[in-house]
Amino acid sequence: MNIAIIYHSQTGQTAKLAKLMETKLTGNGHEVSLFDLKTNVPVKGGSIRQPMNFEIVNLPDISEFDALCLGGPVWAFGPSTVLYKAVQMMPNFNGKKVLPFTTMGFPFEGMGGKNAINHISKLLTGKAAKVLPGIIVPKMFHNFDELMKKAVDNCLAYFKN
Ligand SMILES: Cc1cc2nc3c(=O)[nH]c(=O)nc-3n(C[C@H](O)[C@H](O)[C@H](O)COP(=O)(O)O)c2cc1C
C-alpha cells in the first residue's frame, strides 16, 4: 500500500514513533511517505477547547495515498492542537484506512491518550475514514522504547495489501 504518516511532534517522541512505523511498514513492502507538520507561528501548547490562530503550512495532498497514519502528542488531556487542525483541514477520506496514534507523558491511557484518539477518530469518522483502533504510547513508569516497538509491530496487521 502507499501509506502517508503525517505527524506533529514538539520534543521528538511522536516523531520517533512515526519513524519506527515508517521503517516497519517499508520493511514489509509498503511505500511510505513521512510528513512532519509545521505551523506558520510557533505553537507550544494549547487545547482544542480553546481555538488558536495558526495555520498548517505543509499539509500534504492525501489523495495519492491508500491509507494514512496520523499522530501527535497528548496536550492538555486531548489531542495536539496542531494535529487536530491538520485533520480538520483534510478533505474527505472516501473510506481509506486511517490509524491515529499518540504519545503521552502520563502513565495511564485515561490521562489524555484515549481522549486524544477519540477526538481525532471522531473527526475522521465525520470525513468518511475507515478509522483503525488508535495507538497510544505512554511514557512515565513505562519502558517507552519497548512500548513503541510493540505498537509498531501491532500496526502492521492493519495494513494488509
Ligand atoms: C503543552 C503540553 C501539554 C501536555 N499535556 C499532557 C497531558 O495532558 N497528558 C499527558 O500524558 N502528557 C502531556 N504532555 C506530555 C506529552 O504528551 C509527551 O511528552 C509526548 O510524548 C510529547 O510528544 P512529542 O515529543 O512528540 O512532542 C504534554 C506536553 C506538552 C508540551
How far is Cα 60 from Cα 6, in angstroms, rounded to an integer?
8
Kindly report the average pLDDT of the chain as a whole number: 96
User: How confident is the model over 142-153, as pLDDT tens digits?
Assistant: 899 999 999 999
Coil/strand/helix, residue 101: strand
Q: What is the dihedral sign for C-alpha 45, 46, 47, 53?
A: negative
Question: From the CB of residue 14, how many other CB atoms can be counted at a distance below 10 Å?
Answer: 25
Q: Is the CB of 73 under 6 A from ligand 1?
A: yes
Residue 103 exposure: Cα atoms within 13 Å on the Cβ side: 24
What is this structure's pTM? 0.97
Give the residue, out of 7, 20, 74, 117, with the most ligand 1 atoms within 8 A of its beta carbon, to mutate for a pocket test. 74
Give the pLDDT score at 142: 84
Q: Is the CB of 59 under 6 A from ligand 1?
A: no
Give the residue, out of 52, 104, 120, with the most ligand 1 atoms within 8 A of its beta carbon, to mutate for a pocket test. 104
pLDDT beyond 70 at 161: no
Band (50; pLDDT cuts 50, 70, 90): very high
Expressed in angstroms and rounded, the spacing between residue 59 Cα and the centre of ligand 1 is 22
How far is Cα 107 from Cα 141, in angstroms, rounded to an integer?
6
Give the residue, out of 75, 83, 115, 141, with the most ligand 1 atoms within 8 A of its beta carbon, to mutate for a pocket test. 75
Q: What is the mean pLDDT of residues 112-123?
A: 98
Give the pLDDT score at 22: 97
Q: What residues contact 150, with CB distance under 8 A and at least 6 apart? A: none
Cell numbers for 129:
475514514
Coil/strand/helix, residue 34: strand
> Could you tell me the CA-to-CA distances from 112 to 97, 103, 153 in Å, in that order?
23, 10, 23
pLDDT beyond 80 at 53: yes
Domains in the chain and their CATH numbers?
2-158 (3.40.50.360)
